[in-house]
Structure 1
Amino acid sequence: MTLAYDKKAERGGSLLGAMRWGTAALAVAALHAGAAFYVSNMPAPEAPPQGTPEAAVLIDLAPPAPPPSAPAAEAPPVEAPPEEVPPEPQLEPTPEPVPPPPEPVAPPPEPAPPEPPPPEPVAEPEPPPPEPIPEPEPLPEPPPPEPVVTPEVPKMEAPPEVAERAAVPLPRPTPPRPRVAEKPPERPTPPKPRRERPREEARPRTPPRAAPPPSRASQASRAPTTQGAAVSSSAVARWKSQVQSRLNRFKRTPPGGAVGMPSVTFTIGPSGAASNIRIARSSGNPILDQAALDLVRRASPFPSPPSGESVSIPPFAINYKR
């Protein structure tokens, strides 16, 4: 029984060995065939230049497979009593490969939470109304200019139209002073015809024979005295009006539009020329003071005084306003 089992095992081993060697031979043949196919399809190498020795081609070949060993000679069967052949062991079925566990499926992503609705616009509070701008306090009124004190001049009878035009108070001409005989007059003026003669002089008087004839100096001093006494108030008022009109004609606005009221005084000579021009009271602005002096100089010469003597004009104000 043991011998029979050994024979079967030996027979099976020989078959296995033959199969192995056959498989190896087929593999070697396939390798050779592939190498031959590869070599035959290789591109031809470029021809080396002349005179260069050709390189030797080396091919590695697999060693030849050994011939399969002859199966061992079977021993002559030994007759043995027939024995019950035990049943061949059944080959266990090859367990099927366990399939790999399925990859865990990623859970679907959670849906994004809904976006919150945009906040409602908040109404901005209205700005408070602007505070009313306080009105500026009215500036205190400037004090009125100090009144210019002018010397009072006695009123003289004059026509109404002449009295309105006369704005500059001029003094009443003083009675002429007798001139000194030693000092002759600078510019003697011819005696004017007498308009009004006193009744006493209506009759011609004859000087006494015993008296010497009067000199020229006494005649010159006597003529103004008689002429000054004969000047009427209407002539004086007319002359004042002419002086005022001439000043108004030459009056000009000072540069810069300054405002003020300077007072000036001057003297009008027998020929009408102005002299001794000076500021009696300043306005506080040198420009206005100079303008007042220039006004009198431009207006000179004035009409000659009716008395024929120099007349001193008292301080009077010149109003410069806008």
Structure 2
Amino acid sequence: MPRIAYVNGRYVRHADAVVHVEDRGYQFADGVYEVCEVARGFIVDMTRHLDRLNRSLGELDIAWPMSRKALETVMREVVRRNRVMNGMVYLQVTRGVAPRDHVFPVAARPAVVITAKRIDPAVVHKRAEGGLKVITVPENRWDRVDIKSIGLLPNVLAKQKAKVAGAHEAWFIDPDGTVKEGASTNAWIVTMEGKLVTRPADHGILRGITRTTLFDVAGKLGLEIEERGFTVAEAKAAREAFITAATTVVMPIVEIDGESVANGHPGSVAMSLRQAFFDVAEKTRA
């Protein structure tokens, strides 16, 4: 069965899915996106993802391409048509198609693309059991990373640098040595006292949806969370380190810049959070 995409009002074969050459997402990265996990036939945390989409659209003064209810229906339909039980659904909204000009077009209609793909949960679980390696890179992004914009070139370059180094993720680091976040994840550590630490979700990082739901998971497990910055040195000396994102949920970090975290194996706190996540998260049947 061929993959199906939704493009501006039509369900089309993924191989035939196209947007106009003057779509402002293509020419200016003038758009936003969301990625939701699909697990066991459910779209995870859809409400919070669409709440964040609403905020991102508002920050860029882009209108919704359709009603929120209609968008939810299309997302579920794309997941259903692609027969995705475990994987992800990707949603992108741009300002639309207009003659190339930096200023906002007056009459352009927002454009929307939604795709879905399968991800083998066994592969992801095996990766979690082995733990991931990260490298650090200097922060070089614009100040408004709290907006989930499609302008991700610094993130792409950081991810590529991580791949070349044999790692899975790159953490952006402030000049004072403080960890910001990953190229596509939020960063966490576990102190020797068992406290979870993550940077406050202000304009310096993206307020990750998995990060937000993890506060609920931690509460269920009786774990304390402290929102503050932490340095690379503190992360290397921590009891555990891990990352969170919609497509990976909780992933233990076992190495930072070639140095092992703790004993170099996934920690029990991160794995407990990972195991409890699905039961706590919101689940919308696709």
> Based on CA coordinates, which of the two structures has the bigger radius of gyration?
1
Query: Which structure shows the higher strand fraction?
Result: 2
Structure 1-normalised TM-score?
A: 0.18
Greater RCO (Cα-Cα under 8 Å, separation 6 or more): 2
